[in-house]
């Protein structure tokens, strides 16, 4: 029997493969699209039973080749570029593909744990898993939103686990391939190491410089929640996966710079000192993002807690310090 991980060479997927290995699970089939070949590095320390291209995998699923052979599917594969404007591609890749795997899992009664996104909430201020709070701002968010609606239609009569995770701003190891879509912490680490400075957007939507706030969640916590639901196949639903705390981008900058300074044996600085010394710089807010940008997110994790998940989530200061130590190796 196999555990399938799609997007297995990607950020969250590769961390899930590694976590499965650490539990003694090596019969993992890694599914991905390695057209961007450098993602392979995320799997070099993982044990897998096989690798399949995402299109080949779907063909085999639809041909019945995996009937009776799957323990669970972690579906992390998607186009996660929130600035992608090709709607046909986005809907085929994120919505239709996800729907095909859902059909397989419902038919085979196989647990299906998939990546949704906090982008479904758009510019709203209430981040609860309810239709009235959802209104995506871009086609990426819409692709995730629409699939969640399909899942809701099936939830009442599903005979097996279906769990959607609305990931908030995830950061941590194995994201280096993501380019511009990598986390702010990742970019700040490299900016500081290369130039001694970090850059943030100037204020918008009534926020001061660097004060736009997101719910930043460390990858280790994301993986732990996924494993919790794998261990509890009787629990289904769509759940926010964030910390329940909004923190400004300024906090990420300060945490990253101070973690780097600590490695250099230098004392910590406050934000005002960093600004005064030119370490933190604010740049014009991009025109391309105006009207499509979430200036504030904060997960309501009440539903996740009600499902029985009790572990605490790392703060930006805790998570970024751990991440910087990893990046500095």
Question: CA 31, CA 54: separation in Å to the nearest integer?
Answer: 5
Catalytic machinery residues: 140, 178
Residue 164 pairs with which residues in a beta bridge?
A: 114, 238
Q: Which of 174, 274, 273, 263 is nearest to 218 (CA)?
A: 174
DSSP H helical segments within the chain, as ranges?
11-22, 54-62, 87-90, 97-108, 139-155, 184-195, 219-230, 249-263, 271-276, 302-306, 316-327
Question: CA 86, CA 273: separation in Å to the nearest integer?
Answer: 43
Question: CA 24, CA 116: separation in Å to the nearest integer?
Answer: 27
Q: Which helix (H) or strand (E) holds 115?
A: strand 112-117
Question: CA 244, CA 214: separation in Å to the nearest integer?
Answer: 10
**Residue 109 contacts residue 236 (beta carbons within 8 Å):** no
Q: Characterize the bridge pairing of strands 280-283 and 198-201.
A: parallel
**Residue 158 contacts residue 236 (beta carbons within 8 Å):** yes
Tokens of 21: 């290995």
Residue 317 half-sphere exposure toward CB, CA atoms < 13 A: 3
């Amino acid at each position: 029997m196999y555990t399938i991980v799609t997007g297995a060479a990607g950020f969250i997927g590769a961390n899930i493969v590694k976590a499965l290995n650490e539990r003694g699970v090596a019969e993992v089939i890694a599914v991905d699209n390695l057209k961007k070949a450098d993602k392979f590095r995320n799997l070099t320390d993982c044990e897998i039973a096989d690798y399949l291209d995402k299109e080949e995998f779907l063909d085999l699923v639809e041909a019945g080749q995996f009937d009776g052979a799957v323990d669970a599917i972690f579906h992390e594969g998607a186009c996660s570029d929130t600035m992608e404007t090709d709607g046909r591609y986005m809907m085929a890749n994120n919505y239709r593909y996800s729907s095909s795997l859902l059909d397989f899992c419902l038919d085979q009664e196989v647990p299906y744990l998939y990546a949704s996104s906090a982008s479904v909430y758009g510019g709203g201020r209430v981040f609860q898993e309810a239709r009235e709070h959802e209104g995506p701002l871009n086609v990426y968010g819409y692709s995730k939103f629409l699939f969640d609606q399909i899942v809701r239609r099936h939830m009442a009569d599903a005979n097996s686990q279906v769990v959607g995770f609305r990931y908030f701003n995830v950061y941590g190891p194995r994201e280096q391939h993501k380019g511009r879509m990598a986390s702010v912490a990742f970019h700040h680490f490299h900016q500081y190491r290369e130039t001694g400075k970090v850059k943030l957007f100037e204020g918008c939507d009534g926020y001061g410089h660097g004060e736009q706030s997101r719910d930043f969640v460390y990858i280790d916590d994301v993986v732990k929640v996924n494993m919790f639901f794998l261990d509890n196949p009787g629990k289904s639903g769509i759940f926010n996966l964030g910390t329940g705390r909004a923190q400004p981008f300024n906090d990420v900058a300060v945490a990253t710079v101070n973690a780097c300074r600590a490695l250099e044996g230098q004392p910590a600085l406050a934000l005002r000192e960093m600004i005064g010394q030119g370490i933190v710089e604010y740049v014009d807010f991009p025109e391309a993002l105006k009207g499509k940008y979430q200036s504030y997110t904060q997960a309501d994790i009440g539903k996740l807690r009600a499902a029985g998940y009790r572990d605490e989530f790392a703060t930006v200061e805790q998570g970024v310090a751990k991440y910087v130590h990893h990046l500095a190796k």
